[in-house]
Amino acid sequence: MAEITAQMVKELRESTGAGMMDCKKALAESGGDVEKAVEYLRKKGLSTAKKRAGRATSEGMIHSYIHMGGKLGALVEVNCETDFVAKNEVFKEFVHDVAMQIAATNPLAVRPEDVPAEILDKERKIYMGQVKEMGKPENVASKIVEGKLQAFLKENCLLPQPFVKNPKISVQDLLNETVAKTGENIQIKRFVRFMVGE
């Protein structure tokens, strides 16, 4: 097993924002492999997020992100558990990144389950028409349609989207990491995006 040096811990901490002891443990668990250590920390963030998911989020902030000289903007509400975290730089940076993501990608909803049924029905009909033109049998066609629908939701819902600043992770991964760093449940409550002339 590779020796875990202070420099390795420092670099992992700088790249992930995780605590020093968490970074040290992640490197020990992964035998000094930095990529495996990052994955370990991401999984830890997911389990922390799941543990905290039921806790009430009555604090937070509303943040705006304006782009293109005032031609494009997003307004987002993100909630957390305490005023202390709402004023924390890690939380503020997360909220800013979420607002920027919304401005850049124009999602339909926060989560796939929030997409209105009429939009899903419309997309399903479009995909079914495309698949029927290919001449696929009914059982194969429905699987293809569902696959296309899942891809549509991943692209058009905020949480499953690749994060614009780091497409290797999703916005959900970023949320999980922020929950792990702050120690609180965090929820993206709602958003609106404006574009001049739209």
Same domain for 180 and 99: yes
- pLDDT of 69 reads 86
| pLDDT tens-digit series, residues 47-68 | 555 555 566 667 899 999 998 8
Mean pLDDT taken over the chain: 85
Model confidence at 115: pLDDT above 60: yes
- If you average pLDDT over residues 134-162, what whole number do you get? 89
Residues 48 and 142 in one domain: no
Q: Are residues 99 and 177 in the same domain?
A: yes
Judged by phi (left if over 0) then psi (alpha if -120 to 50, else beta), residue 5 lies in beta
Upper half-sphere CA count for residue 50 (Cβ side, 13 Å) = 5
Give the pLDDT of residue 16: 62
Contact (CB, 8 A) for 170 and 163:
yes
Q: Please indicate, yes or no, whether residues 78 and 97 belong to a single structural domain of this protein.
A: yes
For residue 22, pLDDT over 70 is answered with: yes
- Kindly list the distances between the CA atom of residue 153 and the CA atoms of 48, 83, 112, 120, 159, in Å, as whole numbers in the listed order: 25, 33, 6, 9, 10
How many domains does the structure of the chain reveal? 3
DSSP string, 67-118: EGGGTEEEEEEEEES-HHHHTSHHHHHHHHHHHHHHHHH--SBSSGGGS-HH
Beta bridge partners of 67: 72
Give the pLDDT confidence score for residue 19 in this predicted structure.
65
Residue 1 lies in a domain: no
Q: Between helices 20-29 and 6-16, what is the axis angle to 10°?
A: 110
Distance of alpha carbon 161 from alpha carbon 169, whole angstroms: 8
DSSP structural state of residue 157: B
Q: What is the pTM of this model?
A: 0.68
Q: Are residues 101 and 176 in the same domain?
A: yes
Q: CATH number for the domain including 42?
A: 1.10.8.10
